[in-house]
Structure 1
């Protein structure tokens, strides 16, 4: 076929035109000549760009003249909105929305201006040429260069209502620069994160699809998928022709009208055929697809279609899997991760504004039904309930008729005359609205002035939630006024003597607070003041050790204190000065070595009586006596028994090695404790050893005390107290006489002398003796232990026991060199310093009423603080807000809060009325300020300044009627609906979520069975959706916190969503396969995944052919889970290829065995990669150890089908010319035919790499 002769084309070429030209050349003339053409075009372009000096200079950046006018108009519109807001005609939300929309429209208008400016005034402007030809930059970038930068979002994604009016040519001021850097930073961070994310996505995709290779010509399947054109509402996104190109027909295509055959099954759709189909207006065509290809573990040529590289049918051996993975992964860097939300309420996508092209009169058609409503800008308008038309009747014969869809807004009335350029309607776009979901948002309203709250036409209603918390709501639209006044906050405990309507002058006392002592005592004033004020200490009780001296020692940077008493005792302080001690706490411990032993041993009480002490402080001695101590040396070893160097019962000298590296310090008998061949401890018991002939010789019981003069064995009388123990020695039975040490314990310890002074509570230091061990305790130790401690303990009597005492060191009055120890119980009161900032709330004046050394009674007043009216703030008390019986805030109305207006004419308003700026006061005078009228008479009116806030119905009220508030207090939370932005996952994360088969956040609920819907609101604010089937079966769905997208009486099909949000692909698979069978379920989820992934890429302007995504999705849905193995060899829970199960089940039908039952599973790409048949590929992807150990345990073999496994072990890869079908093809394979054996293992006329080759390798080694 000869290529067509090129036509002469003479027009401007942009990026698209060039693309078409090169594509035409490529299709008709092949690669070499196209490359040559492209080269020539490049040279041509550079040559003339150089001659024409195409570059960007400052001179090229021309700001359109219309900018000033557009900005002026926007400013005026916003001022009007602000004025309406100040008058209380629109709410804060409506004002904000109006500002955002006004600026967005201004930006759009300016963009048009920029475009027009370049096209009309200077079509050869370099910047214009680059942007419009698609060479570099786009319209929005050019707009920022020469138009205005526009609105920016803050880091939370909310739009800041201060637009950047400048462009880069004029330069930004500091504020604008800071605002614009939010978005810029976001963009940079996003780019950095994106590269890593998209790289990892590519790696996972390659891993899951690397073994998909075209292995046969035709799999012979009858199945396919239906393709139609893609639309969103009325807008065509992708035409059917573009989707068909390069595919193969799965059925004959016939003309929808004449029924003649356009093309038979298995025809390839090329340009000509697609043109025929488009001309015949075929709605949908069934095509073959990798999703339905029945080739085993591969794709056949016909199901794949064109290789997109050269517009011919794909070749056998082409690694289409890797091409698919890279086609999806590579554009990943172009997808944003988080879009910058359109913050705020619906943007322009939802409604299309209609403006009059000429002055006209409006006429409604008779079918049009509309009801009044409030727009999102707070304007009055009509919403269309029933479709109809309106006609614009212009001058002369000019006429325009417009059809208004349901949900559109009308800004005009029937018969109204409008000017040119007036917006008269907003057209609701069909199809768009269904996809946008909304969420409830809240906006706070803060007060601009301090004063008193007054509800005007605002009806609060109280709702109680499940926890019993009450919230006040506004039941309908109403005004909340704040009437100006000076509000004084009173500190806790302040009392006022004033009443309503009292007059008070500047400097008068509003209220006073008193500082009162609780316990009374002696006053002590601190010398220096702290930041907060002056501390007053009141000493309730104190004790001074008048005869004891405190010494301070420093060791290793720490201070220790010692107390020496007059009778020569020494105590060490256990608490440091400046700290607090509580009742029963140890203050000091006596230093003496009278009760320290030389080693461990056994303790016995003789006449000593003890009680358990508080905490873990041993036992307190109640009555004195003697402590008996039988010493023994204990070594805790915990080593192997083989290290023992002596025997149990052996008598050893001091210094003997008893265990390796352990030597004893005393002489005596060894006792060994062991358990499970582990040596626990070795005890050396000192004493005299006497051999026994028989047990009966022992006159004293084992383990008892023998007093002096007692006969122990015949001929042996003890002269001092001994402890008798019989022992087994290697030589035989013996008796050990162990020495006993005695320690005397007095009844009462000596406490140092002390003098105390107190009021109410008394306080003293008490001496206490404590023994850490019980009677008969064995103390295991090598070194000595302390058997008894003498301590000084704080004792506070009476009701003050819960108070704490302060430890203080004071110098002696007579001898300043000596330091004494004093314990005092203090009450510390803080007298506030009068601070500068208090003047905001009115001046405070604080005066102390006591002096140092005063003795005061409990309940006495220590200081008094007066709250005074601030400078120039005299006025009339108008409100006292109380909590209980105490006043919290006082409101004064001063002269500054009132405004006087000269009036003429008859009064219209009366005292007490609330008027807004611009309302009439008299027949001839308007109010200049909003507020409450105080008087209107005698030619003047006085208004108390106020500020109205419009509150929408359903808003949460944070204040009550007549509350007193400060400026900046929160008045209400306005509740409104806005387009949901925050949680829509977009861009790369959404692609990843889909391909990994994850459950989406906030997913929608799907209908399990078809039927008719009814929706009911339950008492706990949740919705119950009931679906009633034709046969009367009822399914209930309970829904919390999601918006419902079905309505009463609607018919729904299985798998349809009830609520908004993304679907969970696993649910789709389950619902459809339960109802309509395995194949149908898999088909539905495949379609869903392909469309959703495509939608993400398309929304960012990236085009990927469906077949690439289909190959990946095929890999995700190729496995099923065995539920019941039947008579096959499959195990329950095993993941098996669907094709394999189908083949085995066919064989079972023939042999009459029970087939295997299975359910479909959707595996994410990571899971699918780890579940491939090839363990080498899976191990080289992730979790290497786990994959390899499992493969080894199961005894898997790797058939080396994919590319990766072959690369890893260093063989030729089975793709392209290395594809197995070509090896020794002439011997085995006729007509490029591949043979499948029953298990689906390839037998392609060659033994895989030949077993003998492997043997040869080993021989060479």
Structure 2
């Protein structure tokens, strides 16, 4: 296994060198006005890497302004961040900083000194002519031998998250919520319905009355946590919470399906033997009703909530209150039962929602750099809108996303049966949200959210693999490689040039053509970035050897 690992890791290094060898420091400053935004790295509420450490050795894009004193510039733009500047940023309450990056550098073939920043060999600004591409490839490939080869079952952060069943405040402060969708349950507490809600604790003390809303932009965040669906909130917005007090709790072993309306349960296509079977738990003797796949294609187990006139209740956004039940979910209500908003209709065991092995180690790094389509890829939505379920087509479930304002076309997605769908009827989703479990396809991220989001995704995912093994790699190495993967583009509209629609062309060449076109007053070329894996990218370089 070790011998194989060394060979595999060596091969990865070789491919990385092949793609990035022509990336050299060519000029002082490319003069770009673009950069990337950096924040502290937070995983499940804990700060893993503070902001100062992430931007050490980078050049600032904008002035860093002291949030406590108006118009006081702490560090001017264009300054290289050394240990001294890092400490200034750590002590102030700055949350995000924009820095220059190899990803946004405008130098034609290569990178400029300002966008690369500090050379990690000697701690000063990088020298002209330094072969940063090869250094990046070696820095990523060298720890490859320390990564594991096989797929391992989830360990570390993901399983820690699963065992948590409550959230206690790590700091005292004032509670704020962001994008929370909640409903008042029988006990008078709030139950969370959406999957995007976050709770934030901001600095503050008891003396501020809860009614007086402070200017949110000036509040300093102490802690931020995503709240899972079905969590019960025990505190309300604007309330002062003490350190260690309980804010929310949830069931760690299952994902609940919760009704947002009060009414009478009505089963559709739910019948014993056909779509569910009773299973008796041998230990406790309790019988559970578990949904299973039906033999006939046209049955879709659904719970609808009816009003007193036996009509399905319609929500404000014009969707019926219906809840599709995935396979293996467990029924918690009976037909004809009266339910209150916030009641649990069914539970999906978390094992089902999380039964994917995480491809870890080298294979995952190679998969990301080769821009392969993942094995069980998540389908992501291309537009913002409301989720609606449609009739099934040939063993596949149809999900339609309808724009909220009714302007524009709806989008349809076909989902293989048996895959766990993570959205519900009537839920509002944003472009780029996954509809089913799985890893997103990098090409989809590029098409839907653009190259900035894709770059962030690739850098973060690669870093995550190395972090699990306790290896620290500077972000800029991965950025250099990702830059090389995105250096070609498709022609969408050739304008007045001689190019063809769909032709693949280097971005630098296209910028060159566009500058000439604009100078002559002609229509420039419109293009779309194209993502190439490292093997493809190194073969498509314009050198005579490849």
User: TM-score, structure 1 length as denominator?
Assistant: 0.31
Quick check: 2:152–2:357 contact (8 Å CA) kept in 1?
no
| 1:970-1024 deviation digits (Å, cap 9, x = unpaired) | xxx9996526355432211111111111111111111111123345685988644
Q: From the superposition, tell whether residues 1037 and 1124 of structure 1 become closer, same or farther in structure 2 (CA, over 3 Å).
A: closer
The CA distance in 1 between the partners of 2:165 and 2:451, in whole Å, is 43
2:433 maps to 1056
Q: From the superposition, tell whether residues 460 and 1023 of structure 1 become closer, same or farther in structure 2 (CA, over 3 Å).
A: closer
2:100 maps to 288
Quick check: 2:152–2:358 contact (8 Å CA) kept in 1?
no
Q: Is 1:1000 the equivalent of 2:377?
A: no
Q: CA deviation at 1:408?
A: 4.4
Q: CA deviation at 1:1162?
A: 0.6
Q: From the superposition, tell whether residues 340 and 994 of structure 1 become closer, same or farther in structure 2 (CA, over 3 Å).
A: closer
| 1:520-567 deviation digits (Å, cap 9, x = unpaired) | xxxxxxxxxxxxxxxxxxxxxxxxxxxxxxxxxxxxxxxxxxxxxxxx
2:351 maps to 978
Q: Relative to total residues, which structure has the larger strand share, 1 or 2?
A: 1
Alignment counterpart, residue 474 of structure 1, candidates 277, 292, 304: 277
2:68 maps to 257
Q: From the superposition, tell whether residues 203 and 283 of structure 1 become closer, same or farther in structure 2 (CA, over 3 Å).
A: same
Quick check: 1:368–1:384 contact (8 Å CA) kept in 2?
no
Quick check: 1:367–1:388 contact (8 Å CA) kept in 2?
no
2:182 maps to none
The CA distance in 2 between the partners of 1:974 and 1:1042, in whole Å, is 12
Q: CA deviation at 1:337?
A: 2.0
Q: Is 1:1136 the equivalent of 2:505?
A: yes
The CA distance in 1 between the partners of 2:390 and 2:248, in whole Å, is 28
Q: CA deviation at 1:331?
A: 0.9
Q: From the superposition, tell whether residues 307 and 402 of structure 1 become closer, same or farther in structure 2 (CA, over 3 Å).
A: same
The CA distance in 2 between the partners of 1:255 and 1:279, in whole Å, is 11
The CA distance in 2 between the partners of 1:198 and 1:251, in whole Å, is 39
Q: From the superposition, tell whether residues 324 and 1030 of structure 1 become closer, same or farther in structure 2 (CA, over 3 Å).
A: same
| 1:1211-1250 deviation digits (Å, cap 9, x = unpaired) | xxxxxxxxxxxxxxxxxxxxxxxxxxxxxxxxxxxxxxxx
Larger Rg computed on CA atoms: 1
Q: From the superposition, tell whether residues 982 and 1068 of structure 1 become closer, same or farther in structure 2 (CA, over 3 Å).
A: closer
1:1249 maps to none
The CA distance in 1 between the partners of 2:247 and 2:508, in whole Å, is 54
2:50 maps to 239
Q: Is 1:323 the equivalent of 2:135?
A: yes
| 1:1073-1117 deviation digits (Å, cap 9, x = unpaired) | xxxxxxxx2222212211111111112211111100000000000
Alignment counterpart, residue 445 of structure 2, candidates 1056, 1068, 1075: 1068
Q: CA deviation at 1:1154?
A: 4.0
Q: CA deviation at 1:1124?
A: 5.0
Q: Secondary structure at the match of 1:1158?
A: strand
Q: From the superposition, tell whether residues 1049 and 461 of structure 1 become closer, same or farther in structure 2 (CA, over 3 Å).
A: closer
Quick check: 1:995–1:1164 contact (8 Å CA) kept in 2?
yes
The CA distance in 1 between the partners of 2:152 and 2:467, in whole Å, is 17
The CA distance in 1 between the partners of 2:395 and 2:250, in whole Å, is 27
Q: From the superposition, tell whether residues 338 and 1152 of structure 1 become closer, same or farther in structure 2 (CA, over 3 Å).
A: same
The CA distance in 2 between the partners of 1:1019 and 1:207, in whole Å, is 45
The CA distance in 2 between the partners of 1:1143 and 1:285, in whole Å, is 31
The CA distance in 2 between the partners of 1:1067 and 1:460, in whole Å, is 39
Q: CA deviation at 1:1031?
A: 3.7
Alignment counterpart, residue 290 of structure 2, candidates 944, 947, 954: 954
Q: Is 1:338 the equivalent of 2:338?
A: no
Quick check: 1:387–1:403 contact (8 Å CA) kept in 2?
no
Quick check: 2:102–2:476 contact (8 Å CA) kept in 1?
yes
Quick check: 1:253–1:265 contact (8 Å CA) kept in 2?
yes
The CA distance in 2 between the partners of 1:1052 and 1:956, in whole Å, is 27
Q: Secondary structure at the match of 1:1025?
A: strand
| 1:937-993 deviation digits (Å, cap 9, x = unpaired) | xxxxxxxxxxx9776432889xxxxxxxxxxxxxxx999652635543221111111
1:305 maps to 117
Q: CA deviation at 1:1137?
A: 1.9
1:1099 maps to 468
2:459 maps to 1090
Q: Secondary structure at the match of 2:81?
A: coil
1:940 maps to none
Structure 2: segments with no counterpart, 5+ residues: 167-186, 192-228, 236-241, 257-269, 294-327, 331-348
Q: CA deviation at 1:303?
A: 0.4
The CA distance in 2 between the partners of 1:1024 and 1:288, in whole Å, is 43
Q: Secondary structure at the match of 2:289?
A: coil
Say what the alpha-carbon RMSD is for the aligned residues: 3.5
The CA distance in 2 between the partners of 1:1025 and 1:384, in whole Å, is 23
2:413 maps to 1037
Q: Secondary structure at the match of 2:104?
A: coil
Which runs of structure 2 are paired with 1:644-655 in the superposition (5 Å)? none
Q: From the superposition, tell whether residues 213 and 347 of structure 1 become closer, same or farther in structure 2 (CA, over 3 Å).
A: closer
Q: From the superposition, tell whether residues 340 and 1083 of structure 1 become closer, same or farther in structure 2 (CA, over 3 Å).
A: closer
Q: CA deviation at 1:1159?
A: 2.5
The CA distance in 2 between the partners of 1:1026 and 1:1038, in whole Å, is 9
Alignment counterpart, residue 22 of structure 2, candidates 204, 207, 211: 211
Q: Is 1:463 the equivalent of 2:265?
A: no
The CA distance in 1 between the partners of 2:159 and 2:391, in whole Å, is 30
Quick check: 1:246–1:270 contact (8 Å CA) kept in 2?
yes
The CA distance in 1 between the partners of 2:371 and 2:429, in whole Å, is 26
Quick check: 2:165–2:251 contact (8 Å CA) kept in 1?
no
The CA distance in 1 between the partners of 2:247 and 2:99, in whole Å, is 39
2:163 maps to 351
Q: From the superposition, tell whether residues 321 and 347 of structure 1 become closer, same or farther in structure 2 (CA, over 3 Å).
A: closer
| 1:145-184 deviation digits (Å, cap 9, x = unpaired) | xxxxxxxxxxxxxxxxxxxxxxxxxxxxxxxxxxxxxxxx
The CA distance in 2 between the partners of 1:463 and 1:310, in whole Å, is 70
1:49 maps to none
Q: From the superposition, tell whether residues 388 and 1168 of structure 1 become closer, same or farther in structure 2 (CA, over 3 Å).
A: same
Quick check: 1:384–1:405 contact (8 Å CA) kept in 2?
no
Q: From the superposition, tell whether residues 386 and 1115 of structure 1 become closer, same or farther in structure 2 (CA, over 3 Å).
A: same
Quick check: 1:367–1:387 contact (8 Å CA) kept in 2?
no
The CA distance in 1 between the partners of 2:292 and 2:532, in whole Å, is 47
Q: How many residues get paired?
A: 411
| 1:759-800 deviation digits (Å, cap 9, x = unpaired) | xxxxxxxxxxxxxxxxxxxxxxxxxxxxxxxxxxxxxxxxxx
Q: CA deviation at 1:1174?
A: 1.3
The CA distance in 2 between the partners of 1:367 and 1:406, in whole Å, is 15
The CA distance in 1 between the partners of 2:51 and 2:7, in whole Å, is 35
1:1168 maps to 537
Q: CA deviation at 1:1131?
A: 4.7
Structure 1: segments with no counterpart, 5+ residues: 1-188, 355-365, 371-382, 390-398, 410-425, 435-458, 465-472, 481-915, 917-947, 958-972, 1073-1080, 1179-1261
Which runs of structure 2 are paired with 1:391-790 in the superposition (5 Å)? 402-408=245-251, 461-463=272-274, 473-475=276-278, 477-478=279-280
Q: Secondary structure at the match of 2:274?
A: strand
Quick check: 1:367–1:386 contact (8 Å CA) kept in 2?
no
Q: CA deviation at 1:1056?
A: 2.2
